[in-house]
């Protein structure tokens, strides 16, 4: 299943939600609107339980997130409606909380069922992963095994990303990156990406230690939520660093494997590469260029424009985190030995 990224229209969405919420608030809060008709409560409930979730889907979620994200929106809408609508007018619709609870329970049970099916297949997944020796990197090996045993859906995409984060964060510290002249090409040695991420980890740890004890005196729950989120952030950064270190670009007789940490990766068949040249794009891409350009350059203290541009004959789908995908016909990237990388790829293209 392809989940293509589209930019959410936050401005228009916020304006419409404020208009709906404001008009409903005016009905119940302004004296000149009194007395409120009995049917107004039903109209307000429809606004918060149907109209606003529908706007959320159209402007924010569509082609970006799973429909299950609508459930928190609906629950929040119901909570706001209960706060806004007088209790005597909403009593006629006392069945709504039970209906919402039933919907939440059904979704939760469905996701638990999918997870149970996954864990039942986990031994076979691990066995097939160990037998797959054709690919040296975790992502393509694990993805191929996942697609063989698990149906593609957003929950599995999220689970795959989380497994990848824990795999790189905990299980690869003694592993060395593959090295073979003309096959593997690194991209991080001439950048400050490692120093930058170590600095971020240092800042997060200090901030967590300070704010955890400060918030704990006011709200223990909030302090623990902050601690969990920051701990996850540190794990993510560690996993990204390990993925950068252990997955250099890989050039074979038929394909070019490109990966930037755990967030972006693409496999390009060599026969689809039109040319590989020095990057002649401006540092800031236009909005139209951003739609079809995949930037694989790594973060740095001072962000420079990527040095290499790969132009494709047709768009190839890149994989992003949590199952998102992006079609790109131009790839921008850096390499520690840019001239040798361009030369080797060009030679392979000419032989295809």
What pLDDT does residue 68 have?
64
Q: Is the pLDDT of residue 1 over 60?
A: no
Mean pLDDT of 10-15: 81
Give 185-201 pLDDT, tens digit per residue. Answer: 999 998 889 899 999 99
How much of the chain, in percent, has pLDDT values that exceed 70? 91
- Residue 171 predicted with pLDDT over 80: yes
Per-residue pLDDT reduced to its tens digit, 87-132 = 777 777 777 778 777 877 777 787 777 778 777 887 887 787 777 6
- Give the mean pLDDT of 26-48: 75
Q: What is the pLDDT of residue 207?
A: 82
Altogether, the residues listed in the chain come to a count of 352
For 279-311, how does the pLDDT look when each residue is reduced to its tens digit (9 = 90+)?
999 888 888 888 899 999 998 888 889 999 999
Closest CA to 345 of 182, 135, 137: 182
Confidence of residue 3 (pLDDT cuts 50, 70, 90): very low
Percent of the chain with pLDDT over 90: 26
Of 133 and 340, the structure prediction assigns the larger pLDDT to 340
Neighbouring CB atoms inside 10 A of 244's CB total 24
Query: Which residues are 276's β-sheet partners?
Result: 310
Would the pLDDT of 71 be above 90?
A: no
Of residues 52 and 133, which shows the higher confidence score? 52
Is residue 316 scored above 90 in pLDDT? yes
Question: Which pTM was predicted?
Answer: 0.69
The torsion angles phi and psi of 268, rounded to 5 degrees, stand at -110, 115
Axis crossing angle, helix 154-170 with helix 220-246, rounded to the nearest 10: 80
The per-residue pLDDT for 2 is: 45
Instruction: Name the burial class of residue 44, with classes exposed (0-12), middle (13-18) and buried (19+) by CB atoms within 10 angstroms of its CB.
Output: buried
Distance between CA atoms of 139 and 169, rounded to whole angstroms? 14
**Could you give the C-alpha distances from 42 to 22, 86, 94, in angstroms and in order?**
16, 12, 12
- pLDDT by residue (tens digit) across 228-261? 888 888 999 999 999 999 999 999 989 999 999 8
Determine what percent of the chain falls in helix, strand and coil, rounding each to the nearest 5. Answer: 60, 15, 25
pLDDT tens-place string over residues 201-235:
998 888 887 777 777 777 777 778 788 888 888 99
């Amino acid at each position: 299943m392809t989940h293509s990224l589209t930019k959410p229209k936050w401005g228009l969405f916020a304006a419409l939600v404020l208009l709906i919420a404001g008009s409903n608030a005016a009905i119940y809060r302004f004296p000149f609107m009194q007395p409120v008709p009995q049917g107004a409560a039903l109209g307000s409930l429809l606004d918060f339980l149907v109209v606003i979730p529908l706007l959320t889907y159209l402007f924010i979620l569509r082609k970006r997130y799973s429909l299950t994200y609508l459930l928190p929106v609906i629950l929040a809408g119901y909570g706001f409606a209960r706060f806004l609508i007088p209790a005597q007018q909403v009593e006629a619709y006392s069945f709504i909380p039970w209906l919402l609870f039933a919907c939440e329970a059904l979704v939760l049970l469905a996701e638990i069922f999918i997870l149970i099916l996954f864990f039942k297949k986990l031994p076979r997944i691990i066995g097939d992963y160990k037998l797959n020796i054709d690919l040296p990197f975790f992502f393509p090996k694990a993805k191929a095994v996942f697609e063989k045993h698990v149906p593609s859906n957003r929950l599995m995409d999220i689970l795959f990303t989380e497994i990848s984060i824990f795999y790189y964060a905990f299980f690869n510290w003694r592993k060395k990156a593959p090295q073979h002249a003309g096959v593997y090409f690194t991209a991080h040695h001439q950048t400050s990406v490692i120093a930058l991420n170590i600095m971020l980890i240092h800042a997060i740890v200090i901030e967590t230690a300070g704010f955890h004890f400060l918030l704990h005196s006011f709200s223990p729950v909030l302090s623990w939520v902050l601690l969990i989120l920051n701990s996850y952030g540190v794990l993510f950064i560690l996993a990204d660093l390990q993925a950068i270190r252990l997955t250099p670009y890989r050039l074979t007789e038929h394909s070019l494997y490109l990966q930037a940490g755990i967030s972006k990766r693409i496999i390009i068949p060599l026969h689809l590469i039109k040319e590989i040249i020095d990057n002649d794009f401006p540092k800031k891409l236009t909005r139209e260029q951003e739609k079809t350009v995949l930037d694989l350059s790594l973060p740095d203290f001072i962000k420079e424009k990527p040095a290499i541009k790969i132009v494709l004959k047709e768009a190839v789908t890149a994989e992003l985190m949590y199952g998102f995908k992006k079609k790109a016909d131009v790839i921008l990237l850096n390499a520690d030995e840019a001239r040798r990388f361009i030369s080797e790829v060009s030679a392979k293209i000419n032989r295809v």
